[in-house]
Chains A and B, each alone.
Chain A
């Protein structure tokens, strides 16, 4: 990360005057307090900082005057604050573009102020495009400035290389069929001139049959070729689309959790399904209709000029003009109307989706009437928009089509007068007007080509943007395999989803093999983040996590995760049988292993009572099971692989006491001899933990056994007390004894 920007000469002179000759750090402070973007810089020297703007020093101070330098992320901007003379003050304001930089700067200022050695974790590189040198957007590899639509389509063809044989065959047939289509009018002329109205007066039966046969042959062969062309092209385009879908899906499976959570699931699904389908459509249309139309246009106009250049000019000259008019009407009037109609339609649709999926809420609050009224409004709005656009369309569409065919009218006009003057015969006119008709279609069609290709190009963009996305967590070449025993150590671990906001600070913990650690702390204290780091869903910002003495960044991800069992609060079960779901973590598990895992998880007894036993088909996300049953299946799934490390993230939070007891019992069996890290909603769950780790604002505040921490009378003691008080209150209210279990958001 660039923490030392180059200053312009004027600024540099001012900066040196303010902080001395050495400028150790210099970063932009590009926002004024009044909300203007400015070219300001914060300069840090050996002992002083200064704020420079347009060659003038606006503010300066000794760094040691201030303490507690801090970057405060606000909404859409951030400020650097410090405590100076016992009062807080804003030192600089900046746009979010530089917020991460200031995370480092604040740390540097604090270190200088406290006369510590500067420790900055500047391992974050700013990705730069190799070609143009511009900064790349985080997580992408392709520089958008150096890549254009043509390049996108080129890439598409690179993907289609695997299908080039069939593609070539399709194109050959395409050329053949356009050739045949062009012969058609010639036979028409033959028929008219040779048989129906011969120029020399003598009718020729042979010519007549030849003409008829030729026309029939054109018709039959043309259709046959069209059928095979469509079949081949459909095959090719579907094949390419399938390749793309596979590429996108593969990528979504490889990408890090960070990217996937930043995107809506529906959005990614769209890219896999509808965008690739649009691309398939593009290829199909491009390789059939577009090329065909182009050939027809070129050949037909050539033949027109061959036949009679005067008539050809009459036909072709107004064509672009008329076609432009046609397009203009579409673009300005009709497109807008239809677009509005679609938007209304979208709104009505999403309203419908909302209300129908929330029908229980609607009924519970008795708001049916209100929803009916709202739907009626949307409905009539949609109807009105449809009527309006259809009405206009019904008038404009014939007019524009008529305009396109105006040329035909002129051809007849001039052609007939030429025939009357004996400069042309009927056969030639018929041939000519057939060719003319072939010209208008492609011209009108091509007017819409740019918009249509642009739309498809957006789909290509969207698909490739996923394919090009780079996973944040990657295996290096050195990554190897490791049979995990279960010793975990955190060494000076610092981590933040955004580097300037560390969620975990300087975590130093040793977890012995087979030990059970309970993680306790308020929500947002970093517990879930800590366990995400063990599975390496994210990489640490600084420090290292070792398993059995090996840095987890040097273990292959799949290898690492397959040896860590995870049970989450939200259990997700896939559609399939109970057996399939348990077997998910180890597809080659034997029946016996599955039953063992289920028994350990206390799930065997309820499964065996089902009429279909382990073959019970689960509904979507196991909706035909109770919460406790689902949870126990999840535990069975986690232990089947016999992982040495087990992570329980609020695994029993959403269950009632009785079920929890059953699961507790299961867990006790499961955690034996396994390194277990558990986050629990209810503190009672963690009674059996060997040690408890209390996290507070991303730091380890307390470590010890349950009784040690109680003696210490710190945070844990307070949490337990709060729990007891609540239980007491509950008992008084209910007037009966209840087991000690109060929910503290841990």
Chain B
């Protein structure tokens, strides 16, 4: 067998394995042609897929921290997956926009624009920060991973109530802010 033949065999093999996987995974993709999304009067999302109407659906992100516009899972309240969207770019701007709205309602984590103070006492950190949702004061339980890096520079903070806050880029903090934040990491 020649080297080139071996290489081409290898390629067909590779192609076969990927198609095997997608067969096995059996993901239903929603596209412009098979799904029509509608925003309801009550600020919710409904979808009609292959003629079947789902009055209230929820948009879940596969990668809520790294990319919110790809591989979105459309689910019912019973957590049944109706289908997945490969990328919002495949949809017209208007549809993409209200899907994005739904994503931002579901995944709510105000971005911290300025850290005013972080005080640590008795196992809890008391934060005061300016965020995209306004000035917030919140308490974070120490230890147990309530303040954690989700990517190299993106810090996710979970407060005692279950609210989430995000520092999108740690390197953009001032030295003073960084020192305060670091204490509670």
Q: Given known contacts A36-B133, A262-B144, is B161 in contact with A468 (CB within 8 Å)?
A: no
Interface residues of A in 47-92 (CB under 8 A from B): 72-77, 79, 81, 84, 86-90
One of A76, A88, A142 near B122 (C-beta < 8 A):
A142
With both beta carbons as reference points, the residue of chain A lying nearest to B126 in the complex is identified as: A144
Interface residue from A95, A461, A466 paired with B121 (Cβ < 8 Å):
A461
Evaluate contact between B121 and A75: CB separation under 8 angstroms: no
A376 on interface, CB distance cutoff 8 Å: no
**Chain A residues positioned under 8 Å from B161 (CB to CB):** 95-97, 99
B residues 128-185 touching A (CB-CB < 8 Å): 132-134, 136, 139, 141-145, 159-164
Q: Are A88 and B144 in touch, CB under 8 angstroms? A: no
Q: Give CA–CA (A468, B105) in the complex, Å.
A: 37
**Nearest chain B residue, comparing its CB with the CB of A458:** B120
Q: Is the CB of A144 within 8 A of B122?
A: yes
How far apart sit A93 and B44, CA to CA, in the bound complex (Å)?
A: 12
Residues of B within 8 A of A89 (CB): 40-44
Say yes or no: A138-B120 contact (C-beta < 8 A), given A33-B43, A37-B133, A88-B44: no
Interface presence of A656 (CB below 8 A)? no
Which residues on the B side are within 8 Å of A466 (C-beta)? 123
Instruction: Report how far A301 CA is from B107 CA in the complex, Å.
Output: 63
Any chain A CB within 8 A of the CB of B97?
no
- B29 in contact (CB, < 8 A): no
Interface assignment of A464: CB less than 8 Å from any CB of chain B? yes
Please classify how large the interface on chain B is, using the bins under 10, 10 to 19, 20 to 34, 35 or more. 35 or more
At the interface, yes or no: B71 with Cβ under 8 Å from chain A? no
Q: Give the complex CA separation of A380 and B66 in angstroms.
A: 28
CB pair A76–B40 under 8 Å, yes or no, is no
Within 8 Å by CB of B108, from A75, A90, A142, lies: A75
Which of B42, B162, B163 lies in contact with A84, CB distance below 8 A? Answer: B42
Q: Mark B92-110, 1 if CB is under 8 A from A, else 0.
A: 0000000001001111111
Q: Does A462 contact B (CB under 8 A)?
A: yes
Digit string of A187-199 for contact with B (CB within 8 Å is 1, else 0)? 0000000000000
Nearest B residue to A74 by beta-carbon distance?
A: B106
| Chain A contacts for B145, CB-based, 8 A | 264
A162 beta carbon closer than 8 Å to chain B:
no
How many A-B contacts at CB < 8 Å in the complex?
Answer: 113
Which residues on the B side are within 8 Å of A79 (C-beta)? 105
A87-B134 contact, Cβ under 8 Å, with A75-B106, A264-B145? no
Q: Is the CB of B134 within 8 A of A74?
A: no
By a CB distance below 8 angstroms, the chain B residues around A37 are 133-134, 136
Tell whether B32 is near chain A: CB-to-CB under 8 Å. no
Q: B43-80: which have CB < 8 Å to A? A: 43-44, 46, 55-56, 64, 77
B124 within 8 A of A: yes
**A734 CB-CB contact with B under 8 Å:** no
Inter-chain contact B143/A90, CB cutoff 8 Å: no
| Residue A318 interfacial (CB < 8 Å) | no
Query: Complex formed: what's the CA distance from A73 to B110 in Å?
Result: 17
A262 nearest in chain B by CB position: B144
Which residue, of A75, A90, A264, has the highest number of chain B Cβ atoms within 10 A? A75
Q: Are A264 and B41 in contact (CB under 8 A)?
A: no
Q: Is A267 an interface residue (CB 8 A)?
A: yes
**A147 is an interface residue with CB less than 8 A from chain B:** yes
A263 interfacial by beta-carbon distance below 8 Å: yes
- Determine which of B77, B108, B144, B159 lies in contact with A35 in the assembled complex, contact meaning CB atoms within 8 Å: B108
Within 8 A of B (CB), among A260-300: 262-264, 267
- The complex places the Cα of A548 from the Cα of B107 at a distance, in Å, of 48
Whether a CB of chain B sits under 8 angstroms from the CB of A137 is yes
Check A31/B108 contact, CB under 8 A, given A37-B133, A37-B136, A267-B144.
Answer: yes
Please measure, in the bound complex, the distance between the C-alpha atom of A72 and the C-alpha atom of B78, giving whole angstroms. 12
Q: Which residues of A contact B56 (CB under 8 A)?
A: 81, 87-88
Q: Which of B42, B107, B123, B144 contacts A87 (CB 8 A)?
A: B42
Residues of B within 8 A of A144 (CB): 121-122, 124, 126
The verdict on A741 contacting chain B, using a C-beta distance below 8 Å, is no
CB pair B134–A36 under 8 Å, yes or no, is yes
How far is A74 from B104 in the complex, measured between Cα atoms in Å? Answer: 10
Q: Chain B nearest CB: distance from A465 CB in Å? A: 3
Could you name 28 residue pairs across A and B whose Cβ atoms are closer than 8 Å? A35-B110, A36-B133, A74-B106, A75-B106, A75-B109, A76-B164, A81-B56, A86-B55, A87-B41, A87-B42, A87-B56, A89-B40, A89-B42, A96-B161, A96-B163, A137-B124, A137-B160, A142-B122, A148-B121, A263-B144, A264-B143, A264-B144, A264-B145, A458-B120, A461-B121, A462-B122, A462-B123, A465-B142
Instruction: Point out residues on B near A: beta carbons under 8 Å.
Output: 40-44, 46, 55-56, 64, 77, 101, 104-110, 120-124, 126, 132-134, 136, 139, 141-145, 159-164
Other A-B pairs beyond A33-B43, A87-B44, A465-B142, 16, CB < 8 Å = A35-B104, A36-B133, A73-B162, A76-B162, A81-B56, A87-B41, A87-B46, A89-B41, A90-B44, A96-B159, A99-B161, A137-B160, A264-B143, A267-B143, A458-B120, A461-B120
